[in-house]
Amino acid sequence: MAEFFFVSDLHGKAQRYAKLFQKIEEERPAAVLFGGDLLPSIGDIDGFIDGLFDRIVSLREEKGIPTEFVVILGNDDPRKHEGRFLKADSSGIIRYAAMRRVSIGGTVIFGYPFVPPTPFFLKDWELYDLSAYVDPGNVPPEDGHFTVDIERRALRFRTILQDLNDLTRGHDLSDAVMLFHAPPYDTDLDIADIRGMMYDHAPLDHHVGSIAIRRFIEQRVPRLTLHGHIHESARLSGSWSQYIGGTRCLTAAHDGSELALIRFDPDSPDGAIRELIIC
């Protein structure tokens, strides 16, 4: 049995990272998967990234712990820092999985960081879902702020649905793990705390996940999908796990002060468990 850890939406919180690395030292998982929104929103972000990589190197070189780290970024992580993660990937410190396929032992993992349009203005990791449509209250991707150069006009013709088809074309996903930032639409994993709210007299849908990701799971049936993004979903729905057909879908997003840590065996995802660790 190869145990993996999954975490998401740590947002640079030092206490959560400290507890995570403590658990890594104690349990020595084969891999830790990060589901995006890893970085702090203020302060010395480059210094934070350097410290994270130094911790990983220390685990291996000083403590002999060979845990692999598989990383995607999320919609709150400025893309201008992506080059640091790509460089760490080329140095063997992490496995950067955004829009990539990586293998850990015999487990194949596809990483996908983009989310459907949100009300927020940072758009580095946002795309239209199925077509150029935006729910009431949300900002179109091309109208927001970017930290890297991008052809805004091209965003109207790129969708999450197209991306997922391109990323996985020709691959059998029956044994694969999909590492997403966004959750699938109309599930226990995508409920936002906006039930009953209105925008310009239009009711807001409290299910804010991706329809494209939902359809992708239904059609391609990966073994396991991992999600984050909507912090309050597990509290509001009472569930951090849901099946879509034969696929188990898990969220590590959490809106409390604890570290939400999911442990799973990629060969037996039915046995996955979540622990809320006091920080």
- Is pLDDT of 2 > 80? no
Is the separation of the CB atoms in 7 and 34 below 8 Å?
yes
Examine the pLDDT at 264 and tell me if it is beyond 60.
yes
The CATH number of 4-277 is 3.60.21.10
Please give the C-alpha separations between residue 10 and each of 18, 74, 161, 218, in angstroms, as whole numbers.
11, 11, 27, 29
pLDDT above 80 (res 138) = yes
- Residue 20 pLDDT: 98
pLDDT digits (tens, 9 = 90+) for 75-112: 999 999 999 999 999 999 999 999 999 999 999 999 99
Query: Averaged over 64-84, what is the pLDDT?
Result: 98
Kindly tell me if the per-residue pLDDT of 216 is higher than 90.
Answer: yes
User: Which CB contacts under 8 angstroms, 24+ apart, belong to 93-97?
Assistant: 93/53, 93/56, 93/57, 93/69, 94/53, 94/56, 94/69, 94/70, 95/68, 95/69, 95/70, 95/71, 96/71, 96/72, 97/70, 97/71, 97/72, 97/179
Query: What is the per-residue pLDDT across 12-60, written as a single tens digit (0 to 9) for each?
Result: 999 999 999 999 999 999 999 999 999 999 999 999 999 999 999 999 9
Domains in the chain: boundaries: 4-277
| pLDDT band, residue 200 (cuts 50/70/90) | confident
pLDDT attached to residue 24: 98
Whether 1 has a pLDDT exceeding 60, the answer reads no
Q: What is the pLDDT of residues 150-181, one digit of tens each?
A: 999 889 999 999 999 999 999 999 999 999 99
